[in-house]
Amino acid sequence: MEESALNLIFKGNGQTSEDIIKRFLISESVYPNTKTELELFGVHVRTVKGSWFYPEHQHAIYEINWVIEGQQIFTTNGKRHEQNAGDLVLVRPGEFHASKGGNTEPFTYLCIHFNIDDKLFLPYLTNIDPLFFKASGSLAKKMAPFLERIAKLLGHHTFGLVEKMNMQAVMFEMLGMLALGLEELEGKRLSERSVALAYQIAEQIERNLEGGGQLEKSNIEQIAKKLNISVSYCNQLFKKVYQMSPRKYWSFKQLNKAKALLVQKDVTIEMVADQLGYYDISHFSRQFKRWTGLAPSQFRAKHESLY
């Protein structure tokens, strides 16, 4: 029987819910304990002039861009895509991207900025580049009904609890279909056990990050020991699933956390450094510049000029 986080203690006899279930159980199906947070930012449908131009930028969240009508030129990491009605682009966190009109005619597009647990989502995005999908392809066809529903929901004039819950529900359905479509494109290259174990490694790395610590060799050794695997297998398996080393994943998560904090005007750079475990702001500034080519203050100013 799967262990449950909900293990009730009953009054008087000290029994737990597990004790009672075991006495009477014939069979059961159990859904694993799950906490999946989905954040949505600036979701919009927009019709713009053919002269539309949005400069190159990056952000620490995912983006889906789908042309509904007309033509758009969408550039990701220097690669230019001619995006027509039904064509879909997915942008990973940290990827530079820009957009402009494809001709002199107006066009309409749907843009979804979202944040979801990288441990769950990243394995599906590592082997496909660029993440550009033509309307005639299987993945764009799978996604289209959900994107149409999202565009329709945006037509509401008010967003109460019902509308917000409907939007979240459609988003989760769409992301599930996206994961399925990407898995089909790649082929089932990894066993479920490998992915589950790599997920546990990622979870331990993120706990280290939340604690404000740096990821040292000793931390990887502790993670491997806890999961009863060797350090070399820990590194090999993680890289196979996420296409990056545990240390690089830690840096990826720390950079995204730094960016997310820096765009908040009420959070000082000193506070960002402190939350990330840096005792010296200059050390944080040097590290951030190594990652991005910009000082934290420059990154903040550039973001404010765009938004």
pLDDT in tens, 229-260: 999 999 999 988 888 888 888 888 888 888 88
Average the pLDDT over each of 120-134, 141-155, 234-248, 253-267 and give the range with the smallest value: 120-134
pLDDT band of 2, cuts 50, 70, 90? very low
Residue 113 pLDDT greater than 90, yes or no? yes
Q: Is 94 left (phi over 0), alpha (psi -120 to 50) or beta?
A: left
Instruction: Please give the pLDDT value at position 302.
Output: 79
Residue 148 pLDDT greater than 60, yes or no? yes
Q: How many CA atoms lie within 13 A of 16 on its CB side?
A: 8
pLDDT band of 187, cuts 50, 70, 90? low
Residue 127 pLDDT greater than 90, yes or no? no
Nearest CA among 133, 132, 125 for reference residue 243: 125
d(CA 106, CA 144): 21
Instruction: Please give the pLDDT value at position 181.
Output: 86
Q: Is 195 left (phi over 0), alpha (psi -120 to 50) or beta?
A: alpha
Q: Mean pLDDT over residues 77-106, rounded?
A: 92
Q: Which residue has the tokens 């203690």?
A: 9
Instruction: Please give the pLDDT value at position 126.
Output: 66
d(CA 152, CA 285): 44
Measure Cα distances from 180 to 140, 251, 298 in Å: 12, 28, 39
Residue 304 pLDDT greater than 80, yes or no? no
Q: Are 213 and 203 in contact (CB under 8 A)?
A: no
d(CA 163, CA 161): 6
Stated pTM of the model: 0.69
To the question of domain 192-306 being in CATH 1.10.10.60, the answer is yes
pLDDT band of 4, cuts 50, 70, 90? very low
d(CA 48, CA 101): 8
- CATH: 3.40.50.150, 2.60.120.280, 2.60.40.1120, 3.30.1330.40. Which one for 38-186? 2.60.120.280
Average the pLDDT over each of 63-77, 124-138, 178-192, 222-236 and give the range with the smallest value: 178-192
Nearest CA among 203, 258, 257, 195 for reference residue 226: 203
Measure Cα distances from 153 to 99, 157, 159, 160, 176 in Å: 24, 9, 9, 12, 19
Q: What are the structural domain ranges in the chain? A: 1-33, 38-186, 192-306
Q: Are 278 and 284 in contact (CB under 8 A)?
A: yes
Q: Which residue has the tokens 């019709």?
A: 47
